Structure 1
Amino acid sequence: MTKEPPRIVTHSPHTARKEDAALWAVILIRIRDHRDEAAFATLFEHYAPRIKAFLMRAGADPTEAEECAQETLTTAWVKAVQFDPSRASVATWLFTIARNKRIDRLRKQRRPEPEDLPWGPEPDPDQESLLGLQQETEQLGAAMAALPDKQRELVEKAYFGDMTHSEIAQATGLPLGTIKSRLRLALDRLRHAMQTRDTK
């Protein structure tokens, strides 16, 4: 029996830079391989409003766009096993699902299909970009695994769990200074690991 996706309470979406594609891939892989609900919450919070906006630009009304965006993320949870970072980025994969959901709805309503839906915020990556993303994803995953347990746990809470430093302090009982210090050391280690890869 397929596990139902966790209930998500949305907040203001946090921003992510284009160069964070490898991190989003790691987040989706955590959903794919570990059914990680905190990772799913992070994915949902970031992409749901973007998918809704994309569908509204394609002609959907706000209610339909929101419903379709939720269906897209639910599908991503159920079919996360199909995600392959060597074939597409997280954004490309999600916006492809959204596009198909939109077309399915138009067919059911027997309305004319749009000749072309405007694409999402990222162009379809070429093979070289996909290979680079796959390598970066693997490298980041290895670098995360190599972190000391105390540092890795804080990185997961701060970035995969989308918790603030204050929320982490409340959950762990650690002083804010300790949390900030450990996160800084962890990010330095991750940055060094990725830079080492680039110089090889």
Structure 2
Amino acid sequence: MAELNQIDLRALNRGDKRTWDAFVVAAAPLINAVVRRTLAPYRLSEDDVLDAAQDVFVRLCAQDFRLLKTYDPARAGLPTWLSVVSRSCAIDHLRRRRQATEPIDDVPEAFLGIEDRHVEKLRIPDGLLTARQVLILKYLYDEERDVLEVARLLSVDAQTIRSTHHKALQRLRAHFREEESGGGG
């Protein structure tokens, strides 16, 4: 059994079959241990853990060993680098296993806990917000447009929309906090 540090990386990156086989034998215990440790809190089946470990090897040799060719011995030892790659692959494996979700628009309102679709609109006192802030809130909430669409409509940068939106919400929060505490109109 070859040690990881004895693997000829140039031959490995060229796709030499014997070198790859020696690498797999040498790296498997480390990769399996890291994947097992990463996935342990999620109580996956043994098959899932083995699949995730296999994903590491697949990723290492995919696209003509593209990932493996990024290894730089000057930055880390091969076992350390493989540990990082293995942990990342295990997390990716978890993400792929996530249960499918349903778009909120497809869920009946009764299941969302919404009792009345026609909620009374918030009355914003005159002069509290600038005309631009009111317009942006109208586009974002009343017309349900996204930030990029509003930015295009107003011929401004999306960050300007986000910033104006944020400032408008700050003013509204401050106003309604003051009103709630009995200090305002």
TM-score by length of 1: 0.40
TM-score by length of 2: 0.43
Identify the structure with bigger relative contact order (alpha carbons < 8 Å, sequence gap 6+).
1
Larger radius of gyration: 2
